[in-house]
């Protein structure tokens, strides 16, 4: 997911010996500076020294960094340079993070030679991460498909990382948990060789740990593989955890009140929500190619978690905030601020791009027709005469699937988002929210009686953030008039409210 590109000026600082160094203070008010040295192969790396202001939690909260997938560990390789670019941004944060979460694939790995694998880990920690004082700023890791791909590599992962020894009997040092006051973090091994390898994950231990720590105010679960597809990249075991585990795994998180599941693997930044639990994918720590190219970018995430929820900023290699999130979103409005849209055409209550922090929520009620109707049925659309409606919400197919169609560029195929099926001869009462800060995960659905949001299913890498809303809205039929894809049921009402954070 990406909102915009950027360019930035860079500088190189040389020491008296002609070696490049960068200097950064933990606090701009502190004059004592700390050097950050990089491997000789990347001494010409250009960068700026300006501190980056970290988001801060309320007292008692937690301030941390999330990033994964550097696939480095080889001196002079491309990923050594790209990883250093991201690390340079982390090292500019002021104040410094309390801890760092790295959801896997630190090194390129995937080799049969244990000595060479140990050498990669040694280079990663002794050279590439030498700038980080891990006593002051602990760093916790998950396994990954580049680092724990067979029994040999699992054993070396345990040996080198020396992570807490509190996991299930056969996965000690691979799965584990960490408790920091009111924060519980559970790290799961999503490719355990004892269960079948990549994509196979144990769930009984996870459930037991979450129950054991039910008193934790904040709970985060981490694993390398996503549970839900990211940017349209999907495939059981290869892209996500095995599909046979997904429902059980996620229900455990929901039932335990977990705030977020943090993963990587798909080389992108992405956030979505399912039954109120976030899935955050951060896999931009240095692996050079992107999924997809031209949209995603190298990044790290700096976050603050407190009683108001989670706030974070996604920083690119120039230290520029490319994306951000506040979750849960603020309540969208009082009852007096909601507007009812009559069936038919009306002037839009909003037109143009949705700005950062803005959202639109629709409350839709009615009853479906007596018999199923497969052709498209319009609930709501935003349109203008010069183009196919860029926003269309309605029912499609014999199952009357709730569908959002978004046209982002003239002459290009639209993107689709899918919600639940609405059976014939049934009442419906639901909300759909457009939350552009979440990119493709920001098309949200919930039944009116529920409070937890779920992202509609999609295979897109971008969301509604770049779409200009037209100045005409329709309820009950399409842009071409009452005969254009009409709603076949009755009692349709659409209420709308605009929100901002």
Contact present, 103 and 264 (Cβ < 8 Å): yes
Determine if the pTM surpasses 0.75. yes
Tokens 């046979």 found at: 244
- List the one residue out of 455, 451, 469, 448 whose CA is nearest residue 325: 455
d(C-alpha 132, C-alpha 138), whole Å: 9
pLDDT per residue as tens digits for the range 277-336: 999 999 999 999 999 999 999 999 999 999 999 999 999 999 999 999 999 988 777 888
Confidence of residue 9 (pLDDT cuts 50, 70, 90): very low
Partner residues linked to 62 by β-bridges: 305
Q: Which residues pair with 280 in a beta bridge?
A: 262, 271
SS3 364: strand
Supply the DSSP string of 214-281, one letter for each residue: TT-SEEEEE-SS-SS-BTTB--BTTTBS-HHHHHHHHHHHHHTT--EEEE--SSSEEEEEETTEEEEE
For 417-463, the pLDDT digits (tens) are 999 999 999 999 999 999 999 999 999 999 999 999 999 999 999 99
Cα distance between the two ends of the chain:
21
d(CA 441, CA 376) in angstroms, rounded, equals 24
Residue position matching structure tokens 């280079």: 123
Question: What value, to the nearest 5°, has the Cα angle with vertex 421 and ends 417 and 424?
Answer: 140
DSSP helix/strand/coil, 133: coil
Q: What would the 3-class secondary structure string for 229-242 be? A: CECCECCECCCECC
- Quote the mean pLDDT of the chain: 91
28 Cβ contact partners less than 8 Å away, ≥ 6 residues apart: 51, 94
111-144 residue pLDDT tens: 999 999 999 999 999 999 999 999 999 999 999 9
Q: Is the pLDDT of residue 18 over 80?
A: no
On the 0-12 / 13-18 / 19+ scale of CB atoms within 10 A, 355 is: exposed
CA 84 – CA 130 distance, rounded (Å): 11
CB 271 within 8 A of CB 278: yes
Q: Determine contact, residues 500/358, Cβ cutoff 8 Å.
A: yes
Closest CA to 369 of 358, 380, 361, 377: 377
């Amino acid at each position: 997911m990406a909102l915009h590109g950027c360019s930035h000026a860079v500088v190189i600082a040389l020491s008296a010996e002609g070696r490049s160094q960068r200097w950064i203070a933990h606090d701009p008010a502190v004059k004592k500076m700390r050097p950050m040295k990089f491997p000789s192969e990347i001494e010409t790396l250009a960068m700026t020294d300006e501190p980056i202001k970290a988001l801060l939690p309320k007292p008692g909260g937690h301030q941390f960094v999330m990033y994964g997938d550097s696939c480095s560990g080889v001196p002079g390789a491309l990923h050594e340079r790209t990883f250093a670019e991201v690390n340079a941004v982390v090292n500019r944060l002021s104040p410094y993070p309390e801890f760092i979460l790295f959801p896997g694939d630190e090194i390129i790995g995937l080799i049969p030679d244990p000595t060479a694998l140990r050498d990669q880990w040694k280079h990663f920690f002794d050279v590439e991460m030498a700038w980080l004082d891990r006593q002051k700023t602990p760093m916790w890791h998950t396994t990954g498909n580049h680092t724990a791909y067979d029994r040999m590599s699992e054993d070396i992962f345990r040996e080198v990382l020396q992570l807490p020894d509190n996991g299930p009997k056969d996965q000690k040092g691979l799965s584990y948990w960490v408790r920091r006051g009111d924060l519980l973090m559970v790290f799961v091994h999503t490719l355990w060789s004892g269960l079948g390898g990549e994509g196979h994950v144990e769930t009984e231990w996870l459930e037991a740990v979450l129950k054991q720590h039910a008193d934790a105010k904040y709970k985060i679960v981490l694993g390398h593989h996503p549970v839900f597809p990211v940017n349209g990249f999907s495939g059981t075991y290869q892209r996500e955890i095995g599909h046979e585990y997904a429902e059980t795994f996620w229900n455990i998180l929901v039932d335990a009140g977990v705030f977020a599941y943090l993963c990587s693997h798909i080389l992108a930044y992405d956030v979505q929500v399912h039954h109120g639990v976030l899935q955050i994918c951060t896999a931009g720590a240095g692996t050079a190619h992107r999924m997809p190219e031209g949209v995603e970018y190298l990044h790290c995430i700096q976050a603050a978690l407190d009683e108001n929820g989670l706030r974070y900023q996604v920083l690119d290699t120039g230290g520029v905030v490319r994306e951000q999130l506040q979750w849960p979103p603020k309540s969208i409005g009082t009852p007096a601020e909601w507007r009812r849209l009559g069936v038919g055409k009306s002037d839009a209550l909003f037109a143009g791009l949705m700005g950062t922090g803005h959202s639109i929520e629709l409350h839709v009620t009615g009853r479906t027709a007596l018999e199923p109707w497969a052709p498209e049925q319009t609930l709501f659309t935003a349109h203008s005469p010069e183009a196919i409606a860029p926003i269309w919400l309605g029912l499609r197919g014999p199952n009357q699937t709730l569908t959002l169609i978004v046209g982002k560029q003239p002459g290009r195929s639209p993107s689709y988002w899918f919600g639940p099926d609405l059976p014939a001869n049934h009442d419906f009462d639901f909300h759909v929210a457009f939350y552009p800060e979440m990119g493709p995960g920001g098309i949200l659905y919930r039944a009116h009686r529920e409070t937890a949001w779920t992202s509609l299913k999609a295979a897109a890498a971008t969301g509604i953030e770049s779409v200009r809303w037209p100045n005409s809205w329709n309820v009950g039929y399409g842009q071409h008039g009452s005969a254009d894809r009409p709603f076949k049921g009755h009692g349709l009402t659409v209420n709308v409210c605009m929100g901002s954070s």
